[in-house]
Chain A
Amino acid sequence: MSTTITGARAGFGRGLIELRLAFSGAELVGQVFWPVATLVAIFLVRDVSIGAGYTLDTFILPGTLGMFVALGMLLVVQQLAADREDGSLLRAKITPQGIPAYLIGKLVQISATIVAYLAIVLLPGLVFVDGLDLGRPGSWLTFAWVVVLGLIATQTIGAALGSLVSSSRGAGYLSLPILGLIAISGIFAPITALPEWLAWIAQVFPVYWLGLGMRSALLPDAAAAVEIGGSWRPVETAMVLGAWVVAGIVLAPIVLRRMARKESGSRVAERRERALQRVG
């Protein structure tokens, strides 16, 4: 038992170190770029009317928050690929409790990174975006549970997916369908505007539900009129996100263990060789 606690504590410390590294020096610019660009986009559409007295920025802001939570999946996939390539994961594997500590570190670092993204978009947004309704007692509560379920679901699934691709290039390919999924998930336009079959596909994955959950937290109830069934569907949101959480928590350790079992010094060297050949 004490080894598990030590592993968890070490993993938490690891996450804080990674977090500091992720936001220091030149990295900071890359980190801040997307949330700031999103904020600017939201600001630019603040006068575009979408009817019923609402402007486009009011609709988009909550959705982009959901999108950034979902992007945790992509971050895990990319970082896992990089850590396999440079041997950081192998280092974790040959250390007692190294893999659990590594994963906890990732979860802490990426969750904190995403919360920072959310703050960059939401805090200025609260000032200039009209029509948000955060005064209700349930608003922040809904915000909190959707974010927490979303972070766990997307990152555990990301860890499982990341274990299946063996290189940064593979991780790059994997980002295409994820970006495509964001495009059909009703983040930037109501999902009811999409063909019905596409909307069905979107509703299988967490991205749509994250956007919906965020809108239900930040928008007044009347805005639910443009959603499917004219409702925020909180029960369905909790069920779909919860199912993904369960799937991720069950699958990620299995797939990761399988992947880690194959890691060795010569495999890391092989991958490095291949990576160099691609550059040359």
Chain B
Amino acid sequence: MSVRDRPVIEVEALRMQYGTDEVLRDVSFEVNRGEVLALLGPNGAGKTTTIEILEGLRMRSAGRVAVLGVDPAHADEVWRARVGIVLQSWRDHAKWRVRELIEYQGSLYAPYSTEHRPRPWDVDALLAAVGLSAHSDMMLKSLSGGQRRRLDVAIGLVGCPELVFFDEPTAGLDPRARRDFHELVRLIAQEFDTTILMTTHDLAEAEQLAHRIVILTQGRIIADGTSPELARQIVGEDQVSWVFSGERFTRDVPDATAFARELLLQHHTGISELEIRRASLEDTYLALVQAAESADVRANERELEGTPR
């Protein structure tokens, strides 16, 4: 396998434990070059832990991880220069001006420039790409939430990374800022041959942006594929309901068509109002989120009972 063909991210049997608390249990997936992969899951599923391990910010308990062919736990500065990181919420360098910080950050990437990837990104072009040209002299603390997020993206991109991590990039953004961000992600993915791994708890966002979605819940991967593949993998049962002799019946079945044929064969007459409702990916995902949240509530209650007041 040539270096070029090797997946940009390889995760195998990754485990993470805090004390007795198992946050990640046996997580395995790969991200290929040029791919946009969404790590989707409810809050507390282990998304941030996973991405922080891949970013080299957190030590794992067990498992094999390679990012750009290197174990991020022992990565050097050359590796750092090839990776862009956009965290959930930054509020650093509050008194610096937009252009100042981008220029400073960019200057550190200059020695890592290569023939294929000149570094850093031109500041004016970058400001234009993220729509901050008009705000380049503003102090960071006076930017709006959406502007600040665009700046964080710009700083994540200033080194022309081969791989970018986005952790919950649109959390707290208004719909307009969110759409702008989505356009920006498409731009980077298409124009700059950049691999992207993003976490989100929003299925619609994952479906819109990602080539492939990995669903993580309670520290386990329960599905991995394109959105139609996912629907086949995890969307189990369709709902069939009918009226027989004036009485209404409802049944969840894996193959609704076969079930309906059987039903009509058994009862030649007397069946009316036959209705098949195909479960959607959204329903299934919402059910997962709900299950995770109620587990969370139970855990919290246990914790509260254990705490003396």
| Interface residue ranges, A against B (CB under 8 Å) | 2-3, 6-7, 9-10, 13-14, 17, 21, 83, 86-88, 90-91, 93-98, 101, 263-266, 268-269
Contact = CB atoms under 8 A, between A and B. Distances in A.
Contacts, number: 83
Contacts of A263: 57
Interface string B292-307: 0000000000000000
B55 interface: yes
A269 B88 contact: yes
B48 A96 contact: no
A94 B100 contact: no
Contact of A88 (B87, B93, B111): B93
8 contacts: A10-B108, A13-B107, A87-B90, A91-B90, A95-B80, A97-B111, A266-B48, A266-B49
B52 A264 contact: yes
Identify which of B78, B88, B92 gathers the most chain A CB atoms within 10 Å of its CB: B92
B80 A94 contact: yes
B90 A96 contact: no
Given A2-B111, A266-B48, A96 B92 contact: no
A88 B109 CA distance: 17
Contacts of B52: 264-266
Nearest to B85: A94
A94 B55 contact: yes
B111 A6 contact: yes
A264 B58 contact: yes
Contact residues of A: prevailing secondary structure: helix
Contacts of B48: 265-266
Top 5 closest A-B pairs, CB basis? A264-B57, A88-B92, A265-B87, A87-B92, A96-B81
A88 B91 CA distance: 8
B264 interface: no
A186 to B, nearest CB: 38
Contacts of A7: 108
Contacts of B83: 94
Contacts of B85: 94
Interface in B93-120: 93-96, 100, 104-105, 107-112
B5 interface: no
B24 to A, nearest CB: 14
Contacts of B58: 264
A3 B87 CA distance: 25
B303 to A, nearest CB: 16
B107 A96 contact: no
Nearest to A5: B111
B203 to A, nearest CB: 23
Interface string B126-165: 0000000000000000000000000000010001000000
Contacts of A97: 77, 108, 111
Contacts of B107: 6, 9-10, 13
A17 B104 contact: yes
Interface string B50-81: 00100101100000000000000000011011
Nearest to A4: B111
A266 B83 CA distance: 19
A13 B108 CA distance: 11
B272 interface: no
A265 B57 contact: yes
B108 A6 contact: yes
Given A14-B104, A86-B92, 15 more contacts: A17-B100, A17-B104, A86-B93, A91-B90, A91-B93, A91-B155, A93-B57, A94-B55, A94-B83, A95-B108, A96-B80, A97-B108, A264-B57, A265-B87, A266-B52
B10 interface: no
A96 to B, nearest CB: 4
A10 to B, nearest CB: 5
A186 B111 CA distance: 49
A86 B80 contact: no
Contact of A3 (B77, B96, B104): B77
Contact of A10 (B95, B104, B167): B104
Nearest to A22: B95
A271 B85 CA distance: 20
Nearest to B109: A96
A220 to B, nearest CB: 45
A37 B55 CA distance: 48
Nearest to B73: A261
A95 B48 CA distance: 19
A262 B57 CA distance: 7
A88 to B, nearest CB: 4
B106 to A, nearest CB: 9
B89 interface: yes
Nearest to B52: A264
Contacts of A9: 107
Contacts of A91: 90, 92-93, 105, 155
B129 to A, nearest CB: 20
